[in-house]
Amino acid sequence: MSEKYDVVIIGAGPAGYVAAIKAAQLGLNTACVEQWLDGKGKTLLGGTCLIVGCIPSKALLDSSYKFAEARDQLGVHGISVEATKIDVPAMLARKDKIIKQLTGGVAALFKHNGVTTIAGTGKVIAGAKVEVTDKDGNVQVIEADNIIVAAGSVPVDIPPAPLDNEYIIDSTGALELTEVPARLGVIGAGVIGLELGSVWNRLGSDVVVLEALEEFLPMVDAQIAKETAKILKKQGLDIRLGARVTNAKVVDGAVEVSFSTADGEHVETVDKLIVAVGRRPRSEELFTSDSGLTLDERGYIYVNDFCETEAPHVYAIGDIVRGPMLAHKGSEEGIMVVERIAGKAAQMNYDCIPSVIYTHPEVAAVGKTEQELKADGIDYKTGVFPFAASGRALASNEPEGMVKLLAHAETDRILGCHIVGPSAADLVQQAVIAMEFGSSAEDLALTVFAHPTFSEALHEAALAVDGHAIHIANRKKRK
């Protein structure tokens, strides 16, 4: 009989490994089941985010931006750099080193906190037990007082563009390209498509992005999305909206991509094609029909506001449940769940989850968009401040973009913050904190911000909500 645990977690991505560490810190006997193996058959902790997602993509984004900056932007500072070139294998080696350091760090934290790692694929079965199958097909059943499912997500495949992992690749393959393709196609103008397209565009690829939707970044505030599209197109990304891919085939070492638009049928020939149309929950073979778990119409495990499934003492968190597929959302859900298991009255504020697109400049947001407020019939006020009027942004040669703040027309409570511009990912967190504490736009307006900083743009946007901005001409506000 195997050991019985207080908590067994399926999946060691940001949701699962954070939950495991927190559970162990709270004194719970904890095990984490993970199926990911490295080339030597050793268990890898960290999930998609650390291994083939957030972290490696940001490593390549940083490397590619530094290359593009040296090639295209240092001249304005009076700095001359001759014969700039990119060593792609060295760039990939740096990325792999970072992955190894972080996955090894999670393993060290498991050991330090006393979390047991169980290698294999986990499945919830009847009686709130976990069946684990290892790489050799051996099966064991683990008993637990509580189970947390954190199985994550996988890239979405589309029939018109079947992957061959050489010419037609997914986001994972796009992180392993060993040379810069002269012509690169990307299906999908979402977060993943824009980030990966930006990496290879900076390194010299001619990038065409095919997006089936007519609207660019529909989940982003419309004003910010419009500004983002203008900036990215200026950088060289050929973004085509309303372009529905109908077929992709490899011909003579290249990919012929057929797509339809309002103008008719078209064909583009590219050296590599990245399929980046989104991700779906990894819910196949994750539980048996008699386990008590159910899926909603989109394939997510059904949970309530506290991530409880319909099976007693079984929870689900992260990409496998409703809500945005964000590593930090899953991590915080994991902390909430284990604190509730430990008897604490924990909850999570889903209205204050920030999201970021790591293009350059970054796009970041929290709360409601202007179009959502209009649709909900909420009366609101708007404050916008462009980085072109920021002394720090101009001094740093980062004048593109803006900060937009939305506040309730009567209460002045901050309802949303949307940014495209330098350090947007860090700036939006200041708005997240303000919203978490129920702050008003006036609260931010009365706060002292250091000068010169990018953060002053947020301060000025808060001032602009009531027509009091200092460094731009204020528009007359409606009475």
123-142 tens-digit pLDDT: 999 998 999 999 999 999 99
Question: What share of the chain in percent tops pLDDT 70?
Answer: 99
Phi, psi of 444 (to 5 degrees): -70, -40
Q: Enter the tokens of residue 65.
A: 């931006």
pLDDT at position 99 over 60: yes
pLDDT tens across 405-418, in order? 999 999 999 999 99
Average pLDDT over residues 249-277: 97
At residue 3 the predicted structure's pLDDT band, cuts being 50, 70 and 90, is: confident
Dihedral sign for Cα atoms in the order 218, 219, 224, 228: negative
- Please tell me the number of Cα atoms within 13 Å of 417 on its side-chain side: 36
Phi, psi of 208 (to 5 degrees): -115, 125
At residue 479 the predicted structure's pLDDT band, cuts being 50, 70 and 90, is: very low
Q: What is the pLDDT of residue 179?
A: 97
Average pLDDT over the chain, rounded to an integer: 97
For residues 419 and 365, the answer to whether their CB atoms sit within 8 Å is: yes
At residue 478 the predicted structure's pLDDT band, cuts being 50, 70 and 90, is: low
For residues 241 and 216, the answer to whether their CB atoms sit within 8 Å is: yes
| Residues noted as catalytic | 451
For residues 32 and 110, the answer to whether their CB atoms sit within 8 Å is: yes
Burial status of residue 328 (CB atoms within 10 A of its CB: 0-12, 13-18, 19 or more): middle
pLDDT at position 477 over 80: no
Phi, psi of 179 (to 5 degrees): -150, 160
- Please tell me the number of Cα atoms within 13 Å of 353 on its side-chain side: 16
Measured distance between the N- and C-terminal CA atoms of the chain, rounded to whole angstroms: 73
| Structural domains of the chain sorted by starting position, each given as residue range(s) with its CATH number in brackets | 5-155+280-348 (3.50.50.60), 168-277 (3.50.50.60), 352-464 (3.30.390.30)
pLDDT tens across 187-234, in order? 999 999 999 999 999 999 999 999 999 999 999 999 999 999 999 999
Please name which of 225, 223, 224 lies closest in space to residue 211, comparing C-alpha atoms: 225
At residue 152 the predicted structure's pLDDT band, cuts being 50, 70 and 90, is: very high
At residue 2 the predicted structure's pLDDT band, cuts being 50, 70 and 90, is: low
pLDDT tens across 265-279, in order? 999 999 999 999 999
Q: What is the 3-state secondary structure (H, E, C) of the chain?
A: CCCCEEEEEECCCHHHHHHHHHHHHCCCCEEEEECCECCCCCECCCHHHHHHCHHHHHHHHHHHHHHHHHHHCHHHHCCCCCCCCCCHHHHHHHHHHHHHHHHHHHHHHHHHHCCEEEECEEEEECCCEEEEECCCCCEEEEEEEEEEECCCEEECCCCCCCCCCCCEECHHHHCCCCCCCCEEEEECCCHHHHHHHHHHHHCCCEEEEEECCCCCCCCCCHHHHHHHHHHHHHHCCEEEECCEEEEEEEECCEEEEEEEECCEEEEEEECEEEECCCEEECCCCCECCCCCCCECCCCCECCCCCCECCCCCEEECHHHCCCCCCHHHHHHHHHHHHHHHCCCCCCCCHHHCCEEECCCCEEEEEECCHHHHHHHCCCEEEEEEEHHHCHHHHHCCCCCCEEEEEEECCCCEEEEEEEEECCHHHHHHHHHHHHHCCCEHHHHHCCCCCCCCCCHHHHHHHHHCCCCCCCCCCCCCCC
For residues 132 and 10, the answer to whether their CB atoms sit within 8 Å is: no
Q: At how many degrees (to 10) do helices 456-464 and 424-436 cross?
A: 50
Residue 280 to residue 299: CA distance in whole angstroms: 8
At residue 1 the predicted structure's pLDDT band, cuts being 50, 70 and 90, is: very low
Q: Which residues pair with 250 in a beta bridge?
A: 255
Residue 303 to residue 312: CA distance in whole angstroms: 11
pLDDT at position 143 over 80: yes
* Prediction pTM value: 0.96
Average pLDDT over residues 338-354: 96
Average pLDDT over residues 48-66: 97
pLDDT at position 448 over 70: yes
Question: What share of the chain in percent tops pLDDT 90?
Answer: 97
pLDDT tens across 154-167, in order? 999 999 999 999 99
